[in-house]
Amino acid sequence: MNNNTSRDVLIFGGAGFIGSNLAHWFLTQTKAKVHIFDNLSRRGSQHNLKWLQQAELASKRLKVTIADIRDCKSVDKAVCSANEIYHFAAQTAVTTSVTDPRLDFEVNAGGTFNILDAARRSDKKPFLLFTSTNKVYGDLCQGTSPRNGKRYSCPSDSGISETQPLDFYSPYGCSKGAADQYVRDFGRIYDLPVVVFRMSCIAGPRQFGNEDQGWVAHFLYSALQRTPITIYGDGRQIRDVLCVTDLVRAMLAVRQNISITAGEVYNVGGGIKNITSLLELIEMIQRVTGFQLEYQRATVRPGDQLVYISDYSKLTKHTGWKPQTDVEQTVKMLLQFWQENHHLIEAAPVLTPRLNVEMQLERAS
């Protein structure tokens, strides 16, 4: 991969969990210019932004725009100079999509359209990576999966591949699914090098998890703070967990192999070797931390999948990428992050999204 200063990287949602990890890699491992576009509405995003600003003090290559992807003028201005775009800005909670489907649609579908429309008008023909979700596959008709100890049984030996039919199911699935399809078709119609990641559960450092998003971090932090949680369903639901450092490697891999990956969709997750149920994660947290996590049960939330495991073999075939970090290692990395930053995690407020407000904090030379 070319690490010279000709790379002009724009990260929508760059102060969030995934975006800040990718931005930090670019700032510390390359000479690329990095432009973060974020409305700072996500819990902990201000702390992630300060972390990134400290990382780039010597290089002077970081530019920050505080704005919302629903503001097309701000998006146009940001996109015009970029030759690489990473789009992580989103409304991420199924529960929020059910209670406020208009907000969910305007952010996920409308915001993504704004980015794509700006990209197709750019003379740079930028590379664009979009993070979609496993929720585009619906509940997968696995509601009757037989129970096996503390987890539901996995119906296959490899997980869900990209050939799985789409079934958006929830408003969140619909908005992300619409954006997912828009990205693919804009790539075809306007000759843009785009890649879609349909992601499973991502966890790791810089994650300020809560009940609706970032459940691995939420479980761990709740145990460390002696705060009871609610489990929706019987706790036997299973997911494959991918460490954020492995996700960053996957993003770099598709960019490096763009002649093969352009226009493709990839299921990205920890895969069959990194499965955990809610109950199993609770036991793992107790083993790693020595703290018991107290919980109560409630009915299953709409749109939840009892079983989801990624089949990432297509991504491996095209790039050679595979996960390197297992679930327990990921939990230990989260524990270290909490130990070093628990005062920020405990105090991090939930901010209100801002629309049509833009502030430039430029440190780019």
**In this predicted model, what pLDDT tens digit does every residue of 70-92 receive, in sequence order?**
999 999 999 999 999 999 999 98
**In this predicted model, what pLDDT tens digit does every residue of 19-69 receive, in sequence order?**
999 999 999 999 999 999 999 998 889 999 999 999 877 678 999 999 999
At residue 286 the predicted structure's pLDDT band, cuts being 50, 70 and 90, is very high
- Domains of the chain in start order, with CATH, are 8-362 (3.40.50.720)
Above 70 in pLDDT, residue 352? no
3 state DSSP class of 285: helix
- DSSP E strand stretches across the chain: 8-12, 33-38, 62-66, 84-87, 127-133, 147-148, 151-152, 194-199, 201-203, 229-232, 238-243, 264-268, 275-277, 295-298, 307-308, 359-362
Indicate the average pLDDT of the chain.
90
3 state DSSP class of 243: strand
Encoded tokens for 169: 């199911």
Output b/e per residue, 71-89; b: 16+ Cβ within 10 A.
Answer: beebbbbbbeebbbbbbbb
What is the arithmetic mean of pLDDT over 248-272? 98
At residue 5 the predicted structure's pLDDT band, cuts being 50, 70 and 90, is low
What integer pLDDT is reported at residue 355 of this predicted model?
41
Above 80 in pLDDT, residue 185? yes
At residue 146 the predicted structure's pLDDT band, cuts being 50, 70 and 90, is low
Encoded tokens for 185: 């078709």
Above 80 in pLDDT, residue 168? yes
Above 60 in pLDDT, residue 361? no
Above 50 in pLDDT, residue 364? no
Above 50 in pLDDT, residue 295? yes
User: Tokens 């997750």 sit at which residue?
Assistant: 269
Handedness of CA 275, 279, 282, 286 (dihedral sign): negative
CA angle 332, 334, 338 (to 5 degrees): 115
Please tell me the least confidently modeled range out of 148-157, 199-208, 215-224.
Answer: 148-157
What integer pLDDT is reported at residue 1 of this predicted model?
44
Q: Give the whole-angstrom CA distance, residue 282 versus residue 187.
A: 42
Best CA proximity match to 86, nearest among 137, 28, 16? 16
The answer to whether 190 is a known catalytic residue is no
What integer pLDDT is reported at residue 306 of this predicted model?
87
* Active-site residue, from 172, 221, 266, 308: 172
Q: What is the length of the chain?
A: 365
At residue 138 the predicted structure's pLDDT band, cuts being 50, 70 and 90, is confident
What is the arithmetic mean of pLDDT over 172-186? 96
What integer pLDDT is reported at residue 350 of this predicted model?
45
pTM for this entry: 0.92
- Using an 8 Å Cβ cutoff, are 52 and 19 in contact? no
